Amino acid sequence: MPGRILATADLDSAGLDALRALGEVESASYRERRRLLRGEDLVGELRGVSVFVTEIDLVDIEVLLDSPDLRAVVSCRGNPVNVSVDACTACGVAVLHTPGRNAEAVADLTLAFFLMLLRKLGSGTRYLADNPGEAGDMARLGRGYAQLRGRELGGRSVGLVGFGAVGRAVARRLRGFGTRVRVFDPLLDEREALRAGVEPVELDELLGRSDIVSLHAAVTEESRGLIDAGRLARAKPGALLVNTARAALVDERALADALDSGQLAGAAVDTFSVEPPGPDHPLVGRDDVLTTPHIGGNTSDVSSHQGRIAARGVEALLRGKRPDTLCNPEVLDEFDWERPRPVPSEERLAALRSAPGPAVSDLQRG
């Protein structure tokens, strides 16, 4: 590799060592330095850099034009929204991403939500503090016993909306609980479903037969607002809804109404249409809703997963192979580590400059 590797993503020592096996590495984790690079600040950091491994920094057309040494960008995201892929393609820069990097983390939180809702742990963990009294007061204990009677996960029916990396990880975890798992995913074929031990069904059937509905779909024009008032009305009475995917999948007001009416018995939400939500949000502060501030993928282990995926992709690129995490394979036709990169035409530049730029979060993309 003719230049350095700059890694501002949060990577563990194993991931950094894997990158060091490929070239000179400068590690400057955004978590440790508490900074987001963009514009001229990013251009200054990219001098002499061939590969940029980032998680939140913004790579747009202006940065690319002023960073002629750059040949590849690795966005440590499932969806590389912080990088203008079209601009990189126009400039001959390969873009890689790290799909599935936080799937295990999100699946863990999803299962925690299932158990917390079923066992009423949101209220249960607060009961003694919210109901102070004398030690040994059996009446106080009895009131808690009556109020906090829960349900077991074993024997329940779980419906997964979406069966990508997270959905598959949730299904694996459910095998030990003796649950029946139904899946709605238009891309899921019967053979894959059979191997995973799940039953593919249409969405309305899933809603009507599931004790717990858990969302794991990507946001597309087809899935936006998928769980609206009409679909919530078709849910099994007393069901639970868990959303660790994206807020755009659910009509938040309709969800609150379904809880108010008793159509749903509870919900758990890790993502909101505006983050963080204000105190007047209809789902915040309710006893029947668990809310967390978008922490599904926030574990220290993710730094290990994304480092391994990033290094594997860069190694493939160095060997002249097509990485399986490459977002713009069309650049490989003229990709070269040392020759000058292609220069976009004025017409292409104008189009790129007028297009929406990169964003820190996909929520900023609508």
Active site residues: 246, 275, 294
Peptide bond before residue 68 is cis, with ω within 30 degrees of 0: no
Cβ–Cβ under 8 Å, residues 244 and 217:
no
Q: At what angle do helices 13-20 and 301-318 cross, to 10 degrees?
A: 10
User: Which two structure tokens, joined as six digits, stand for 220?
Assistant: 């597309």
Cβ–Cβ under 8 Å, residues 308 and 76:
no
Cβ–Cβ under 8 Å, residues 365 and 356:
yes
- Cβ count within 10 A of residue 266: 22
Q: Which of 123, 119, 106, 10 is nearest to 56 (CA)?
A: 10
Most distant CA pair in the chain: distance in Å? Answer: 80
Q: Which residue has the tokens 């459910």?
A: 174
Cβ–Cβ under 8 Å, residues 256 and 282:
yes
Angle of CA points 276, 279, 284, to nearest 5°: 80
Dist CA 168 CA 242 (whole Å): 16
